Amino acid sequence: MHSAVVAQTLGTNKIIGRLVGQKISSEGLVGLFDKLWISQASCSVTLFSGGTGSNGLSSSLADVSGVDLSVLLNAYDDGKSTGKIRHDFNMLGPSDIAKNIVNLLDPQMEGSSAIKLFLGMRLSKSFSPAEHLESLRRITTCEDPGGTDFEKAFYLLPAGVRESFRSYLKYFYRRALRVSPDYDLRDFGVRNLVFTGVYMKNGRYNTAIEELSGLLGVRGRIILNDSQSLWLVALTEKGEFLASEAEIVDRLLEQEIDNTYLLAKPASKKEIDALGQMKTVEEKKRFLEERDVAIELSAEARIAMSADVLVFAPTTFSSSLAPTIKTKRFPSDYKSSLALKVCILNLVRERGKRTASEQLLTMESLFQAELRKDTFIHDLLDYVIVNTHGYRVDINGGKTHIPIDIEDLKKLGLNVIEADIEDSVVPGHHVSDKLAKLILVLQRLDRLNCCYREGCIVPKSSSVLERDRMVLENLLSNPLKFEEVRERVHNLGNRILGIRRLEEYSPISPVRIMIAAGGQSTRLKSEYPKALYPINGEPALLHLIRRVSGIDRDFIVLTNEDNDAAIRDTLSQAGINPNTVVGLPMGTGSSILVAEDSLDPSIKNVMIVWGDAANVRLSTMREALFIHEALGDPDVTMPTCWEGNPYAGIERDSDGNVIGIFQTKEDPQTRRQYGEHDASLFVVRRDRLFEGIKRLRRWIGESGLRKDIDLLQSFRFFGDEGAKMIAFAGADPRETQGFNTVAEAAIVETYQIELENGTRFSVPIEEELYRKKADLSASVDGTGNYSQDHQAEIMWARFTYAIEQQYRAAIFDVDENLTDLQGEVPPRMISHLLGFAESGIPVAFISGRLEGSLNKMLLSKLAEKAKKDTSLLQRFYAYPSVGALGFRLDSPDELLYDRKIPKYVLSAAMSLIRRYLLDFEDLYYVADHKITIMPHERMRQGNLLALINYLMEYAGIPLKARISSSIYSDASIILTSSDYGSEVHKGVALYDFSGRIGVDIDQIVKVGDRGGKENVDHEMLVGMGSFSSADFDPDSEDQIALPLVSNKKNLGAVEWLFPQLRFV
């Protein structure tokens, strides 16, 4: 190696060595390019692409010295002139091939600008077919040119290129005349004519591409996945047939593509009619699968798979990437490649309502069609690069962003890099130079055995098992979506444990099952011990033992002195040789300790089941053990179910990690509106189990408390930081039903029969929503009736009384009340507000805006005006995101409270709303504290609100929707938390403000504009001094509708109100 190169390489190593473990932004990573891309560096990159979507990226990569670029694409495009050429000339689409050639043309080549100009032309629609043919004839026969722009541009070409193009156009011209002497060339792309001519000359696509690329000094190679002239069609998720590539790109964009197919010929009218008469999607699938032509990856494409970097470029997925991925050998060659693998997600939606993570799962399914089901997206990508616009669908430059559900992407085990990569001048387009540098920096890091993860440069980890277990744990972290990912959990667990399917699973390490049967029948008032209480004519314990025996025939029954004999006798009569242990009457934990000496030393895990869990299924027990061992034996693994008001349940952090177990009978403050209930079954690591119980016993003794040794409480004593607990919401709620009363025992009996008969527990959401939609015939009421005289009289009487009162504080909703028609807070209003503070009056602002937005439009202006006397800021309070958090303006970093919605709740809620209720045109965004939805039709707002609240209640998701407005729409809907103890609405902020300043709410002026029922200001407009500047609730005894007493609305009404208020 040259000494200079050695020196540069050593320098690069030192740079990375200093950065390992340090935080660095994606911008900082791009900034490393000049330091890491040394002068003698080389890198081969293969870009999986389409026509124009990734032209900027391919060009930027080609601009970098040392990059050996290949662009792999299919050529099934059939729109406009490309489609006509395909039909008439029986060839692949020339357009995407030609676009890439033009894009990669050497800019240093003589006459490159003239060449690009010529190849970028389209033949005018204003000329007749005969005039175009005549123009083409003059060029091909070297006659004097006419006056067309086409001919003028042709004669501006460099001489060598011009003569070659003349030859190509001659081949095209002759073939066109054979098709028709009046061949219509109007609106044809000139590049299509040229490439078609090259192909007509050579008869082979690769040869044609090589010849034209060589002529134009193309920087890189353009490679086809296959050279058969096939026709791309698709079926949507609703069974609509898209008969061409052009329809896939442009038609029925509100529907997702279910699958694509390649036909030997264009779909005929007969085939289209036949598909139209088929009643089911499955029938249509079979029809198309029978006609689907299998193709195999070309030799040139297979060679391109050996590049240093493989990149899925931003382009149309269904037409550009999906057919290429479905090409035989592509999935296997790609997966086996040792290249760095990168996917750059699109900025804008092309069709349907899928999020970024759902789009990648669609990609995964295409790979799985050739590979096994245990191939996952985290196996296929080293990096996913996304823009920073977040989880939203909003309009930017006339296009809607694809929602980037970053948390769900990470839960899939993907290494996600968020970078500001959208062009600010041309929205919807990437900043290609930045992307190219980012890719090449990642490749440099890879060569140095490092990677970029979670904002840091770190050494690479080669442990597939470690990554698989991380992904598996992620999949279990959302109890509201477990059914959705259950098959995925099983497939990943199978791979970890080295089995083909869950049905083959048996515990790898010896396991002992303990049945805690020491409970009495105090509340049942029965002669039997609780475990022997008859359920459907048989003791509950026997129902449980039949299932337990399917896993462990040497199970242990934990009894006590009072019920041991009865339990032994019952088991003996049933032909069961009881292996019972008489525990101490000091809680389940003490009984388990007594059993410790009876355990064989080989036992690694213990499964503990409550003795009254008569309905726990064998499949649930097996699944719990399966997950426990697949995760490498965490401390505790437990199945749960999601239900309303659980009395003993699981506490998770925002990311879905289990951080505790609560019991409402011991701590009523832990009450939940909805949550996870354990299934009376716990798989526990043996060593941690006994260690935790003993430490709890010591703590009880040292504390001088008289209390039972509770198993669940012992989990807090597993090591210094408590137990590593895993919960998965895989149990049927009917399994978790215990009994302490005769009525509850009857419920258990009913549930047992239902479970044995396979009766479903609840009606599917789709059916419930169908019924609900049928019941809804009108929007939500609550705008008031301004025309009724008696309403005005009532309001005037209230107003007259209200302004006679003395007030000590004020609280305002911001938009529409403090803003003008341009959405700005005018200077005179800033002066009004500062005047309140100067008079010693506390003022609060409650807004649906996010903190940054509220700061920009109001709070920063107040701070700027208060520079001379910053003490004024002490009197201002802000409550953004509908009051989900609060702070004082003099100390904005010190939050008064912060009620974020758990990320797993946001993910589940948005998934259901998007899937079942939103239209393609609806906009939305998801933030830490709220979800905002902006229906594209105002008239849908009321019904959509009702449906969202119904859906949230039915699915058990603790969110409530209210009507609002936003900077994007005056018909918005906002969802915030409705859970006990963390409920969010503007009334919460009002009472927090009241408590902090020590002023009763009747002495606070409250001003909003959305006071109607189900409206976002409704809860804050309570008590004396509640004014609405627009919509109001006619049934409220407190609200005063300013439009009825002032004939003004919004800002005008508020400014009219100010001088009439009395503050002290």
Query: Cα–Cα distance between 172 and 194 in angstroms, integer?
Result: 8
List the structure tokens of 277.
């008469």
Nearest to 841 by CA among 811, 805, 867: 811
List the structure tokens of 849.
């805006």
Nearest to 996 by CA among 880, 893, 892, 876: 876
- At residue 821, the 3 state secondary structure works out as coil
Residue-wise pLDDT tens digits, 735-749 = 988 888 889 899 999
pLDDT of 160: 95
Specify the pairing of strand 972-977 against strand 959-964.
antiparallel
Q: Is the pLDDT of residue 976 over 60?
A: yes
Contact (CB, 8 A) for 675 and 662:
no
Report the run of H or E that residue 291 belongs to, with start and end: helix 281-291
- Residue that has been written with the tokens 């357009």 in this structure: 95
Q: Is the pLDDT of residue 68 over 70?
A: yes
Question: 61-97 b/e with 16+ CB inside 10 Å = b?
Answer: bbebeebbbbbbbbbbbbbebbbbbbeebebbbbbbb
In sequence order, what are the beta bridge partners of 259?
A: 235
pLDDT of 785: 42
pLDDT of 730: 95
Nearest to 749 by CA among 516, 539, 567, 524: 539
- At residue 1060, the 3 state secondary structure works out as helix
Percent of the chain at pLDDT exceeding 90 = 77
Query: Cα–Cα distance between 894 and 651 in angstroms, integer?
Result: 26
| Structural domains in the chain plus CATH codes | 1-74+301-462 (3.40.50), 76-223 (no CATH), 231-294 (no CATH), 484-757 (3.90.550.10), 789-899+981-1063 (3.40.50.1000), 903-977 (3.30.70)
- Residue that has been written with the tokens 């410790």 in this structure: 596
Count CB neighbours of 897 within 10 A. 14
- At residue 892, the 3 state secondary structure works out as coil
Four-point Cα dihedral 236, 241, 246, 251, nearest 10: -60
Residue-wise pLDDT tens digits, 983-992 = 999 999 999 9
Query: Cα–Cα distance between 1024 and 1009 in angstroms, integer?
Result: 16
Query: Cα–Cα distance between 498 and 487 in angstroms, integer?
Result: 16
- Residue that has been written with the tokens 């209210």 in this structure: 962
In sequence order, what are the beta bridge partners of 642?
A: 676
- At residue 489, the 3 state secondary structure works out as helix
Percent of the chain at pLDDT exceeding 70 = 96
pLDDT of 40: 65
Give the type of residue at 427.
Answer: P
Residue-wise pLDDT tens digits, 854-903 = 999 999 999 999 998 999 999 999 999 999 999 999 999 999 999 999 99
DSSP 1008-1044: EEE-STTBTTTTTS-STTEEEEEE--TT-SSEEEHHH
Query: Cα–Cα distance between 559 and 585 in angstroms, integer?
Result: 9
CA atoms within 13 A on the CB side of 1056: 17
- At residue 343, the 3 state secondary structure works out as strand
DSSP 855-867: IIIIIHHHHHHTG
Average of per-residue pLDDT values in the chain: 91
Q: Is the pLDDT of residue 834 over 60?
A: yes
Query: Cα–Cα distance between 99 and 118 in angstroms, integer?
Result: 13
CA of 172: how far to CAs of 101, 156, 760, in Å?
18, 21, 65
Nearest to 604 by CA among 552, 647, 550: 552
721-728 average pLDDT score: 90
**Residue 669 pLDDT grade (very low, low, confident, very high; cuts 50, 70, 90):** confident
Q: Is the pLDDT of residue 4 over 70?
A: no
Q: Is the pLDDT of residue 6 over 50?
A: no
816-829 average pLDDT score: 94
Contact (CB, 8 A) for 901 and 930:
yes
228-233 average pLDDT score: 97
Residue-wise pLDDT tens digits, 622-652 = 999 999 999 999 999 999 999 988 877 899 9
251-277 average pLDDT score: 95
- Residue that has been written with the tokens 């309303």 in this structure: 644
Query: Cα–Cα distance between 908 and 955 in angstroms, integer?
Result: 9
Four-point Cα dihedral 222, 228, 230, 236, nearest 10: -60
Contact (CB, 8 A) for 212 and 205:
no
Report the run of H or E that residue 800 belongs to, with start and end: helix 789-802
**For 90-241, where are the alpha helices, taking DSSP H only?**
94-103, 112-119, 129-140, 149-154, 159-179, 190-202, 205-216
Specify the pairing of strand 885-888 against strand 876-879.
antiparallel
Q: Lowest mean pLDDT: which of 154-168, 370-384, 414-428, 786-800?
A: 786-800
pLDDT of 463: 83
Count CB neighbours of 447 within 10 A. 15
DSSP 46-98: EEE--SSTTHHHHHHHHHSTTEEEEEEE-----SHHHHHHHHHHT---HHHHH
**For 391-500, where are the alpha helices, taking DSSP H only?**
406-411, 432-447, 464-475, 482-497
DSSP assignment, residue 316? Answer: -
Q: Is the pLDDT of residue 1029 over 70?
A: yes
Contact (CB, 8 A) for 612 and 519:
yes
In sequence order, what are the beta bridge partners of 685?
A: 605
Q: Is the pLDDT of residue 668 over 80?
A: no
For residue 892, with 0-12 CB atoms within 10 Å meaning exposed, 13-18 middle and 19 or more buried, which class applies? Answer: middle
672-701 average pLDDT score: 92
Q: Is the pLDDT of residue 617 over 70?
A: yes
Q: Which residue has the higher pLDDT, 343 or 968?
A: 343
Query: Cα–Cα distance between 922 and 936 in angstroms, integer?
Result: 5
- At residue 672, the 3 state secondary structure works out as coil
21-50 average pLDDT score: 89
Residue-wise pLDDT tens digits, 496-539 = 999 999 999 999 999 999 999 887 776 777 778 888 999 999 99
Q: Is the pLDDT of residue 314 over 90?
A: yes
pLDDT of 111: 93
Residue-wise pLDDT tens digits, 568-612 = 999 989 988 867 777 766 778 888 998 898 899 999 999 999 998
pLDDT of 792: 86
Query: Cα–Cα distance between 218 and 100 in angstroms, integer?
Result: 9
Query: Cα–Cα distance between 408 and 386 in angstroms, integer?
Result: 13
DSSP 595-657: TGGGS-TT--EEEEEETT-TT--HHHHHHHHHHHHHTT--SEEEEEEEEES-SEEEEE-TTS-
